[in-house]
Amino acid sequence: MKITDVIPAEDLRALQLELSERFGLNADIMDADGKRLFGTTWGNRLCRAIRDDDKGFGSICVPAGQMFTRLMKQGEPFSEECDAGMMRVAVPVLADGEVVGSIGGCGLVPFEGEADPFTIGMMSDIEESTAADMAGKLVPLAEGMVEEIQAYIKQRIEELKG
């Protein structure tokens, strides 16, 4: 079974845009293998720069994606940081107890956290000062916001599953 068997593709795409606009994250819909169904809606310039940088993509995005896929397959909502100091928040979609995908996104700065320009500079071809400038425009999540995002996604999943 696929995530689009549980929630229609047009509803998933609309939810992806809704999450990006509402929470400012790089929203995406993943299948059970961790592949994006509709690309990414970009919530910040820093993540886009890392993703567009071959070295940054390979050393930050790819390992984070692999870790996030393993977490998704556990079937529980999760939040986890990448090496750039930003986090993914996601809720797996289940059908008959089987994980068929997840809904969420990344690019959020944790409560009392910050993106890490030094590490970004070391793991990419982005100058540390450029990363610092972009990171300085990011606002950390308010306390309890991760749980609020996850609760919202869970609610929307249930509504869309009908």
Name the β-bridge partners of 30.
Answer: 36, 102
What is the number of residues in the chain?
A: 162
Given a cut of 80, whether residue 162 has pLDDT beyond it is no
Strand arrangement of the beta sheet that strand 98-108 belongs to? 26-31, 98-108, 87-95, 78-81
**To the nearest whole number, what is the mean pLDDT of the chain?**
96
Q: Is the pLDDT of residue 132 over 80?
A: yes
Share of the chain above pLDDT 70, in %: 100
Tens digit of pLDDT for each residue in 17-76? 999 999 999 999 999 999 999 988 999 999 999 999 999 999 999 999 999 999 999 999
pTM over 0.85: yes
Q: What is 3-161's CATH number?
A: 3.30.450
Please state, as a whole number, how many other Cβ atoms lie within 10 Å of the Cβ of residue 100: 19
What is the distance, to the nearest Å, from the Cα of residue 29 to the centroid of all Cα atoms in its chain? Answer: 9
pLDDT of 84 above 90:
yes
Closest CA to 91 of 14, 10, 8, 148: 148
Enumerate the domain spans of the chain.
3-161
What mean pLDDT is predicted for residues 117-143? 97
